[in-house]
Chain A
Amino acid sequence: MTAILTVRGLDARIGGQQVVEDVSLDVAEHGVTALLGRNGVGKSSTIKALLGLTERTGVVTFAGERIDGLLTHRIVQRGIAYVPEDREVFGGLTVEENLRLAERAGAPNRAIIAELFPELLERAKQQAGTLSGGQQQMVSLSRALMNENRLLLVDEPTKGLAPRIVGTVTTALEAAAERTPMLLVEQNLQVVRALAHTVVVLSGGRVVHTGPATAFLDSDLVHRHLGVSTDQEAA
C-alpha cells in the first residue's frame, strides 16, 4: 500500500534533550497505523515533531510534499488533524466556542457531531473545563473529525476513560478511519486490534519493529516491546 505520510530520519528535541531519534515510518493512505511503545519512549513527541510542535530535523513528506520546514498551522491547514494526548480542550471556552475555533476552511461537517456524540449538543453552552474527561475527549475528537481531513494524528484517545466511553470513542475512530488514514497512539491493545492494520513500535526514541498488527499482537514481541503479555490483553 502506498503511504500518505513518510517519515525519514526524524529527530526531535525538547528543551535541548533528544526525545526522538532517527525515526522512520510510513502511514498508509488507508486505515489505521498504530504507533506503540512503553511509557516515555517518545510516541507523543514523534507526533508533535510531525506537527512542528517540537524542534525537529529529518524528512517528513505528506502527500508528496515536504512539510518538515512548515509552521504548525500550515501543516494542519493541509488537512492534518491532531487529537492530543491530554485532550487539551480550552477549559475557559464553551463547548460551542471550542468547536467554532476548530472549524477550518472548507466545509466543516457539524452533523457528524450529532451523529457520533449527541450529548455534546445539549452541552453547547457549558464551559469545556467543567466537562467530564470523556466529554472533553468527545470535544477534542469533534474538533478534528468535523473538518475535511487527509490524515488524523490521534494520541491515546482512550486514556483514562471509562469502558463505556472507550467503546464510543473506538466506534467513532473506526468510522473516521474508513474515510481518513490515521496514525494512532494507543495503549489499549484491544482497541489497537480492533482498528489497526499496521504497527510501528518505538523503544528509547527509535523504531524497533514495523509490521502487520495482528501478527505482532499475537506474538511474544508484545511482551518484549510493550512489557505486557497477550493474556493480559485478553483479560
Chain B
Amino acid sequence: MTTVLLLLITGVGLGALYFLVASGLSLIYGLMGVLNFAHGSFLTLAGFLGWEVGRRVGDGSWAGLLVGMLVGLVVGALVAAITELVFIRALYERHIEQVLVTVGLGLASVALFEGIWGTDPIQIRLPEWLGQTTDVLGANIPNDRWLLIGSAALVLVLIVLFLQRTSYGLVIRAGVENRTMVTALGIDVRRAFTVVFAIGGAAAGLGGVLASVYYGQVGAHQGTSLLIYAFIVTVIGGLGSLSGAAIASVLVAVIQQFANFYLGGTGDLAVVLALAAVLLVRPTGLMGKVTH
C-alpha cells in the first residue's frame, strides 16, 4: 500500500513536469498546426539560466530557487516569443517548413548548450527540505514532488483563467477550433500565435528549472528527453486539448512509474504501448476533437 502510494505521488510529480512541457506543445499545435520540436530547447535554456542566476542569488537557498524559477519563466517566454516572431511567422501557413525550422533549432541549440555548459550534466544544490521526505500514510514522499505538483497545478489554473477570461484567450480558443474563420472576422491571428508561444515557453521554462530540481542536475539534453514524453502525452491527450494534456501527463507518468517498479523497468515500453492503444481505439486522443 505504501509502495502504491509512493509510486502514485511520484508519478503525479513526474506528470506535473510532463504537463509543463506538453501544455504549450498542445496549445501551439492546436492553434497553429505546428509540432514545435524546439520546445525542449526552451526548457533546457531556461533550466541553465535559472540555475546560473539562482546560484548567484544563493546557491542551495530558497531565494535562489525561487529567483531561478522566475528566471526560467521569463527566459522560456522570451525565447519562445522570439522564435515565433523570427522563424515561424516568416513561414506563415507553411507548416512543413515551420516544423523543419523547429527541428533545426532543437538540434542546433543542444550543440550550443554543450559548447557552453559541457556535455555532462552538472549537479546542482537545492534547499535541504527538497531532499527530505514527508510521511503520507506510511509512504515517504520526496518533498520535491510537492513543489512540482503545486507549480504545475498553478500553471494549469493560470492558463485556464487566461483562456477563459481574456480577449486573447477567446481568440486562442476560437482559433484552435477554426483558425481560418478567426481571420475572416478581421482578427490578426498571428498575434495569438506569439502569445501562445510565449505562454507555452513560460510553462516549459518553469518546467526546465523544476526538471533540474527533480533530477538534481542541469544538462544539455534534459529538454530533448522530456520532449519525447511530452509529445506522447500530447498525442494521447488529444492534440490541442489542454485538459487532455493534463490528464494524459499524469496518466503516462503514473503508468511509467508502476511499470518500472512492478514490471522490471519496462516503463518506457508501457508508455509506448499506451500510446499505441490510444491511437488504435481513439486516434484523436482522449480529449481530442474529431475534426480539426
Contacts and interface: CB of A to CB of B under 8 A. Distances in A.
Contacts of B180: 53, 72
Nearest to B189: A73
A90 interface: yes
Interface string B167-197: 1001101100110111111111100000000
B184 A101 contact: no
Interface string A48-78: 0001010000000000000000011100110
B179 to A, nearest CB: 11
By DSSP majority rule, is chain B's interface helix, strand, loop, or mixed?
A: helix
B170 A100 contact: yes
B290 to A, nearest CB: 11
B184 A51 contact: yes
A173 B269 CA distance: 60
B174 A73 contact: no
Interface stretch (A91-99, A130-138, A226-234): A91-99
Contact of B174 (A53, A71, A72, A101): A101
B187 A90 contact: no
A130 to B, nearest CB: 14
B184 A84 contact: yes
Given A97-B170, A100-B170, A101-B170, A92 B185 contact: no
Interface residues on B, range: 10 to 19
Interface residues of A, number: 20
Contacts of B170: 93, 97, 100-101
Contacts of B177: 90-93
A143 B185 CA distance: 8
Contacts of B178: 88, 90
Interface string B145-185: 00000000000000000000001001101100110111111
Which among B181, B183, B185 has the highest number of chain A CB atoms within 10 Å?
A: B185
Contact of B186 (A88, A91, A104): A104
Contact of A76 (B167, B171, B186): B186
A31 to B, nearest CB: 23
A100 B265 CA distance: 52
Given A53-B180, A88-B178, A90-B178, A102 B173 contact: no
Given A88-B178, A90-B178, A72 B184 contact: yes
A73 B181 contact: no
A92 B243 CA distance: 14
A88 B187 CA distance: 15
B218 to A, nearest CB: 39
Which among A51, A53, A91, A102 has the highest number of chain B CB atoms within 10 Å?
A: A102
Contacts of B187: 73, 101
A72 B183 contact: yes
A101 B183 contact: no
B32 to A, nearest CB: 15
B186 A53 contact: no
A73 B171 contact: no
Nearest to A79: B186
A76 B174 contact: no
A90 B181 contact: yes
B184 A92 contact: no
Contacts of B182: 101
B193 to A, nearest CB: 13
A101 B188 contact: no
B183 A71 contact: yes
A88 B173 contact: no
A93 B167 CA distance: 13
A53 B182 CA distance: 11
A14 B179 CA distance: 17
B89 to A, nearest CB: 12
Which among B173, B180, B183, B189 has the highest number of chain A CB atoms within 10 Å?
A: B183
A108 B1 CA distance: 62
A129 to B, nearest CB: 9
B185 to A, nearest CB: 5
Given A90-B178, A92-B177, A82 B184 contact: yes
Given A73-B185, A76-B183, A76-B184, 8 more contacts: A76-B185, A76-B186, A88-B181, A90-B173, A92-B173, A101-B170, A102-B185, A143-B185
5 contacts: A71-B183, A73-B187, A82-B185, A93-B170, A101-B170
Interface of A: 51, 53, 71-73, 76-77, 82, 84, 88, 90-93, 97, 100-102, 104, 143
Which 7 interchain pairs have the tightest Cβ spacing? A76-B186, A72-B183, A88-B181, A77-B186, A90-B174, A102-B185, A73-B183
